[in-house]
Amino acid sequence: MLQLFPRQWRHDCINWRMGSKVQVSTLKWRRSNMLAFTLEKFKQGSIPRLDIHNHFNPKPVVDLKTSQNFRNVTPTFISVFPEHTAHPGDHVSLQCISTGNPIPSVIWYLDDTIVRQNSRITAGDDVNDTGDVISFLNITDIHVEDSGEYQCHATNDVGSVYHGNRLNVYGLLFVRGMQNMTAISGEDLIIRCPYGGYPIKGIRWLKGKWICCC
């Protein structure tokens, strides 16, 4: 996929050329000032040329250089959010900046459940001039129920990556309901305690009797 970042964009015709042969191209999507195209017939290692014409200029206005990189790249994070501690009524903004090719899509989770947006909680993202995805989660008028571990998951066609950290909110402690889990004998299993409230002295696990504390 090729990403273009024009300041102003008017076109009548878009063609991919591999030598003298015209290739089929698809307009993937548009967001902000970015256009993304996917080559339908692209051979690994070959360098295409993109011709864009309009009625003001019949000549190609974009000519790709051999330095263009057309490899698929698994998402990685450029910047992630730290742990936050807040009081009820505060405002907190969490941000992750990710990159990859194709451009990653980002989803926010709270204790392994997709964040539900409302009048206080909003999520969004933008793509900067270098193709990095700046994703944010804003929480206003924070409630103690908003505390927990937040995660941003960045995913594209070739892989995914996630980052998580806690948002602590001063208030009474609570534990969210935990779903049933299925495990395979002999394999590792990770069980998280989806707690909220702050401060906290420790966590104890119970299975008929106390089995662990931390």
**Residues whose CB falls within 8 Å of the CB of residue 163, separated by 6 or more in sequence, listed in order:** 77, 80, 81, 96, 151, 152
State residue 204's pLDDT score.
86
Q: What is the pLDDT of residues 149-205, one digit of tens each?
A: 999 999 999 999 999 999 999 999 999 988 888 999 999 998 889 999 999 998 888
Integer Cα distance of 73 and 107 in angstroms? 19
Q: What is the pLDDT of residues 34-85, one digit of tens each?
A: 445 544 444 444 445 555 555 555 555 454 444 445 578 999 999 999 999 9
Confidence at 9, pLDDT banded by 50, 70, 90: very low
State residue 55's pLDDT score.
53
Provide the 10 A C-beta neighbour count for residue 62. Answer: 13
DSSP letter at 96 equals E
Provide the 10 A C-beta neighbour count for residue 179. Answer: 8
Mean pLDDT for 6-28 is 46
Q: What is the pLDDT of residues 86-143, one digit of tens each?
A: 999 999 999 999 999 999 999 999 999 999 999 999 999 999 988 899 999 999 999 9
Provide the 10 A C-beta neighbour count for residue 44. Answer: 6
Secondary structure (DSSP) of 100-160: EESPPEEEEEETTEEPPP-SSEEEEEEE-TTS-EEEEEEE-S--GGG-EEEEEEEEETTEE
Integer Cα distance of 159 and 137 in angstroms? 22
The pairing of strands 34-39 and 49-53 is unpaired
Q: Residue 158 forms beta bridges with which residues? A: none
Both structure tokens of 132: 């990095």
CATH architecture under which domain 73-170 falls: Sandwich (2.60)
Tell me the pTM: 0.69
State residue 51's pLDDT score.
53
